[in-house]
Amino acid sequence: MTITVAGVKKEYADGTTISKLIEQENVETPQYVTVTINDDFVESGAFETTVIKDGDSVEFLYFMGGGQ
């Protein structure tokens, strides 16, 4: 299947879950990543069971704090 990951079209096996995608994409600090599929946020507790579908667009987001 073809999905878009961070703006780049890539091929992945059917049945790929978010957890597998995070692993295959070598996402740094996966415990802090927020994931969207087609602009919808996915709860981190659902990463193991959420299957990505052909044509989906996945983004990895990191929220950072800062300031004074």
Residue 37's region, left for phi above 0, alpha for psi from -120 to 50, else beta, is: beta
Structure pTM? 0.88
Locus of tokens 């300031």: 67
Span 7-35, average pLDDT: 95
Domains and CATH numbers, the chain: 2-61 (3.10.20.30)
Render pLDDT for 23-45 as a digit per residue (tens, 0 to 9). 999 998 898 999 999 999 999 99
Helices (H), the chain: 18-24
Q: Is the pLDDT of residue 66 over 80?
A: no
Report the chain's mean pLDDT, rounded to a whole number.
93
Q: Is the pLDDT of residue 63 over 90?
A: no
